[in-house]
């Protein structure tokens, strides 16, 4: 399965109003803490891959997921292969990764408010250290990536956002860039 995602910086207020006017289905808020790992056998920054454990809290429930994200597939979006599975014991998953030589690299914390509209998930993200973003995403097969991206762009436009302002860098990458900029000052 492939994830097709467009992300832009945006103030949430006007977007939330447009979502409500369009009768988007509110899926609710969620808190996510993502711990990203470095691999012992290759540099994920060079290969544009990611491996993470995500802790998610929503409606009083807590879930942990292990996710692998492959390299970006195209220049116009954040489309990539993605495999994700729930893990019953996050500490055990951490132990497995540690035992195999994977080392925690960074953590990303965010508050998300999720909606469903026109076959897409629209997420209003508040990311610690970065600010507010809007993501529009869906899952698809490889032969549908262009159609899915075009639909995501049209949905962003209908919410008053400019898909040409899209950000292909992950939140992890943005945080690391911010840390580098701060260190060079």
The CA distance from 85 to 39, in Å, is 19
For 44-95, what is each residue's pLDDT tens digit?
988 989 999 999 999 889 999 999 999 888 777 777 889 999 999 999 999 9
The CA distance from 67 to 76, in Å, is 23
For 106-131, what is each residue's pLDDT tens digit?
999 999 999 999 999 999 999 999 99
Class of domain 2-184: mainly beta
pLDDT (0 to 100) of residue 168: 86
pLDDT (0 to 100) of residue 74: 79
- CA 58 to chain centroid, in Å, comes to 17
Domain ranges, ordered by start, for the chain: 2-184
Higher-pLDDT residue of 140, 55: 55
Q: pTM here?
A: 0.87
Q: Which residues contact 85 (CB under 8 A, 6 or more apart)?
A: 65, 66
Per the residue annotation, which of 2, 36, 37, 171 is the catalytic one? 36
pLDDT (0 to 100) of residue 181: 67
pLDDT (0 to 100) of residue 97: 97
Q: Residues, the chain, total? A: 185
Mark whether 37 is an active-site residue: no
Bridge partner list, 110: 32, 127
């Amino acid at each position: 399965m492939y994830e097709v995602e467009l992300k832009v910086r945006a103030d949430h207020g006007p977007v939330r109003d447009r979502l409500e006017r369009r009768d988007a289905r509110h899926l609710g808020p969620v808190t996510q803490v993502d711990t990203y790992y470095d691999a012992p056998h290759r540099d994920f920054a060079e290969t544009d891959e990611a491996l993470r454990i995500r802790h998610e809290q929503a409606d009083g429930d807590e879930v942990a997921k292990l996710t692998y994200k492959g390299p970006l597939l195209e220049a116009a979006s954040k489309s990539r292969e993605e495999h994700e599975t729930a893990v019953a014991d996050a500490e055990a998953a951490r132990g497995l990764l540690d035992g195999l030589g994977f080392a925690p690299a960074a953590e990303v914390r965010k508050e998300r408010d999720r909606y469903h509209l026109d076959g897409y998930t629209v997420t209003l993200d508040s990311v610690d250290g970065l600010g507010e973003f809007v993501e529009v995403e869906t899952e698809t097969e490889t032969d549908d990536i262009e159609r899915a991206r075009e639909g995501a762009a049209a949905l962003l436009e209908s919410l008053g956002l400019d898909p040409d302002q899209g950000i292909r860098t992950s939140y992890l990458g943005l945080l690391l860039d911010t840390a580098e900029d701060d260190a060079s000052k």
